[in-house]
Each structure stands twice: as C-alpha cells, then as structure tokens.
Amino acid sequence: MMDLEELKGDWLNLDFDEREFEVKPDEAVDFARAAGETAPRFLDPSDPDFQAPATFTARFHGRRLLPEEFPKIGLPLDAGKAVMPKRPLRAGAKLIGKSHLHEIYEKTGRSGRMIFLVSRMELFEGQELVSIVDSRMVIREKPGS
C-alpha cells in the first residue's frame, strides 16, 4: 500500500509543467454562448467590458496532468474541477500556466482505498496571478500496490 505521507513529501508543490495560452475572443464567445450566458460582456467583443467567461481557464491544460516520474498507482479518473478567477480576462490575453500537485488525500470505503490527487494550474498574465484551476483526479488503488 502506497504511503501517502511519503508521496506528499516527494511530490507536492513542485512545478512539473509550464505552458503558454491565449484568450481568443471567438473561442470565448462560443464557450459562453454554448454554456447559456446571455450578458453582452461575455457575448459581444465590442462591449467595453468584454471578457472571457469566468470558467474559461478550465479549458487550458498542461502537457501532462501528473509529474512524469509519478508512481503508477492506478488509472486516474476525472473527479472534478474547481476554478478561482482572480480578475476578468480580456481578449488576446497571453497567459502562462504553471502546474504542480497541490493536494493528495485518501478516502476509504467498502471497496477499498481511493487516492485523490489535485493538480493545480496557476495562470499568470505577466507577473500577475489571474486564475487558478484545480483538476481533481481519483485513483482506485490497485490491490498490492
């Protein structure tokens, strides 16, 4: 059985990926329209307050969800996503997304232990943190791992 304290000590809070992104206005508008937004600030690029929808950064992902050498303890499944926007993102904004493992915890049920991994991407425009996206993955631990 994997020692979670050891896993945390070895892998938490170490940047393992960095990638550039751009907020393209046509994509932001289609994202908002398909979701059902109705406000002009999300749908009309000529609106003086035009901005990408608050959860738009959830569409950005790094080259990998986990560090390259992370132990193979099972197949990670998508368990959820959290977004913490810090300020509106304008059309054409160029962002840098830096990823690290933010949290590791477990839940034990009748069918055994499940390990939750939270991969956090912090998105910066220049030096300013503009959004945080947490991707929560769950791994049903393989027997004997």
Partner 1 sequence: MTRGFDDVEFGEDLPELRPDTSVANVTLFTKAAGMFTGRFTDHEAARKQGLPGAIVPGIMSQAIFAAMIHRWAPEAELQTIDTVFRAPVIVDQPHRVTGVVTDMDDETRSVEIDLTLQNEAGETRVLGTATVRLP
Question: Based on CB atoms, which residue is closest to partner 1, 32 or 101?
Answer: 32
Candidates 78, 105, 112, 142; binder of partner 1 (CB under 8 A) is 78
Q: Build a one-symbol-per-residue string for 105-144: x at contacts with partner 1 by CB under 8 A, - elsewhere.
A: -----------------------------x-x--------
Which H, E and C letters describe 8-77, residue by residue?
Answer: HHHHECCEEEEEEEECCHHHHHHHHHHHCCCCHHHHCCCCCCCCCCCCHHHHCCCCCCCCCCCCCCCCCE
CA distances from residue 106 to 3, 13, 63, 72, 77 in whole angstroms, order as listed: 11, 18, 25, 16, 14
Q: State yes or no: residue 63 binds partner 1 (CB under 8 A).
A: no
Candidates 2, 10, 58, 113; binder of partner 1 (CB under 8 A) is 58
Candidates 8, 19, 27, 124; binder of partner 1 (CB under 8 A) is 27
- Shortest spacing between CB 132 and partner 1, in angstroms: 9
